[in-house]
Amino acid sequence: MDGGEGCMRIRLPSPRRAMSRWFTSKEKVKGKKKKAMVESRMRDYDDSVRIRNFSEDDHHRVGQSTDSSPSTNDSELKGREFLFNIGVSCYLLHLIATGREEVHKILDLRNDLEKLLECQNDEMKRKHQEFIKIRDNIEKLLEFHNDELRRKQEQCETSSEVVDGPESSSDHYHFPQFLDTSLIEREGSLKHYVYKEGDEDFGGEMDQLEAELEAEFELLQIGQDHEGNYSKQLVSEKGEDLEEMRFRYMSSGPVLEEQQGVCPYELERRLHELMEIRQEEEINELQSALEDAKKRLHVKEAEASWWKDTAYIVSEHIPKPSRITSNSQTRCYPLSRLLKKSTSRSKGVRVRSRSVSSGNMSSVVVESDVQLSLDSIRESLIRQEDTIVFSLIERANCLDSGNSSSLTEFFVREIETIQAKVGRYDNPEENPFFLDNIPQSVFPTHKYPQALYPKASSVNINKRLWDVYFKELLPSFVKPGDDGNYASTAASDLACLQAISRRIHYGKFVAEVKFSDAPHDYEPAICSKDTEALMKLLTFEKVEEMVKKRVEKKAETFGQETIIKDIETFPK
């Protein structure tokens, strides 16, 4: 306050300075906006104070000229101070109100940020759990894969053992190297899922993939660590390993930096791809091992078969004691009647009992010393004529009902079934009428010599014979009628049919022998499929005429009553 020139001057500190002093004790106000706002308010305040001072000065000047007593001045001064204080108070109140608003805003902002951090944290937790789940899945998959491999390896080992047998353990089959890896000993951890050293590159890829997975996992942990959450616990659990991983990750440069963005699903997919490739490789190896085992099995089978055949041949040469009488002879099968001991000069088909090939052994052919000759065949044919003539004479004593073939068919089918079970049709001389009806022999069958060319064995013309027999032959020599003796008639039919069939199919042996005696004569006709030329080579009209005459004679003779001179056949 200056009382110079009788005028009272109040020295008020500049409001701006006052405010700035007031605010300097506080923290600096952040943000330009707020500063600008405060400054504008200070300016407004300066202006208003300046206007008021100006009007007060005028008033002073007027008052000075009229009334300038000290009591008036004093009260005026107090009034002014009062007014000033009110103004300042109002302003401060205004500032406080404004400041509170700002504080509320800041608090809201802080709350939002906290929520955001919480969300982020939840997201990280969720990702972490997802990752753990995926990792668990992968490990389960690996376990499953290991079990599968273990199973396959055991299978292979079993089959290998079967093939090798107990005696050939020195010849043990070796699996490829990868099967010898420690896959079986793994503990279901990714770290264990590696190949042995020296294997293909898959082990390296697996390591890299594992590192990627763990790096991804660690990233999640590091992210959570920044948020100050539960990652600390995990970090302490992993201890030095994690530190090492972190170092690896941080120092691995752009490669892993790129992989920061690789999602766990992508990693899982890549792992699956690798596993698929590896599985395919293993399957291929197992398949080739299996093939090898099969080959070895075949070799063993062939060897076993050879031994069986050898044992059979040896046993054939050892005379067997009969259970009935020690003097009784071993009964020969019918074909053996055709077979004669071969001499160097004798012609005909050399009969081979069996041909066996074996892995390491050279082809073994056991050749019997018997020979199929035309003479022996002719002898058999003559005897068969007798059988046929007798069976037809028997059949002529029954009547022909005209529809006996259906009952005979049932009978023949049943008889053929039972005869097949005891091995009748294993004999190449015998041919069934109902091929669909033939079961396997239930007894160990005799090994018949392979006298015929294999294709010839399947030649069967019994269907045609059946038709000719019932439609043409029977009506030509049997009286028509129905005597009700169906069972005997069917049995008689069967005897005729089987005898005639055997005789007809013996033509196969005749053709075989004739061809073997002069193959060069037959080859051109065979090659050109000239049936007419072949029939000319095989048949002899003169021989056929002689056969017919012989059979006629036999029929006349066998049909007669045999009379012995001077002896009464039946008492009168």
Q: Give the interface with ligand PRE as residue ranges (CB under 6 A).
A: 378, 381, 507, 510, 539-540, 543-544, 547
Residues 6+ apart with CB under 8 A from 351: 339, 368, 370, 371, 372, 449, 450, 451
| Long-range interactions of 52-59: CB distance < 8 A, separation 24+ | 52/83, 53/12, 56/80
- Token representation of residue 478: 């049997």
Q: How far is the CB of 496 from ligand PRE (least distance, A)?
A: 18
- Give the shortest CB-336-to-ligand PRE separation in angstroms: 20
In the complex, the smallest distance separating the C-beta of residue 437 from ligand PRE, rounded to whole angstroms, is 28
Residues whose CB is less than 8 angstroms from the CB of residue 18 and which lie 6 or more positions away in sequence, other chains included: 88
Nearer to ligand PRE, 248 or 378 (CB): 378
Q: What torsion do the CA atoms of 135, 141, 144, 149 make, to the nearest 10 degrees?
A: -110
Quick one: which of 22, 30, 39, 24 has its CA closest to 106?
30
Residue (291 or 375) nearer to ligand PRE, CB: 375
Q: How far is the CB of 537 from ligand PRE (least distance, A)?
A: 10
Residue, CB closest to ligand PRE: 539
Q: Residue 106 or residue 382: which is nearer to ligand PRE going by CB? A: 382
Question: At its nearest, how many Å lie between ligand PRE and the CB of residue 570?
Answer: 38
CB-wise, 419 or 539, nearer to ligand PRE?
539
For ligand PRE, the closer CB: 264 or 428: 428
Q: How far is the CB of 510 from ligand PRE (least distance, A)?
A: 5
Is-contact 127 175, C-beta < 8 A?
no
- Tokens 């019918």 label which residue? 334
H runs (alpha helix) in 165-263: 202-226, 231-238, 240-251, 254-259
Six token digits for residue 127: 């990702």
**Which CB sits closer to ligand PRE, 420 or 496?**
496
In degrees, to the nearest 5, what angle opens at C-alpha 85 toward C-alphas 83 and 90? Answer: 95
Write the burial class of residue 335 (CB in 10 Å: 0-12 exposed, 13-18 middle, 19+ buried).
Answer: buried
- List, in sequence order, every residue forming a beta bridge with 13; answer none if it has no partner: none
Closest CB to ligand PRE among residues 292, 385: 385
SS3 187: coil
CA angle at 340 for the pair 339 and 342, rounded to the nearest 5°: 120
Nearer to ligand PRE, 223 or 507 (CB): 507
CB of 156 to ligand PRE, least distance (A): 59
CB of 349 to ligand PRE, least distance (A): 14
**Of 423, 309, 416, which Cα lies nearest the Cα of 356?**
309
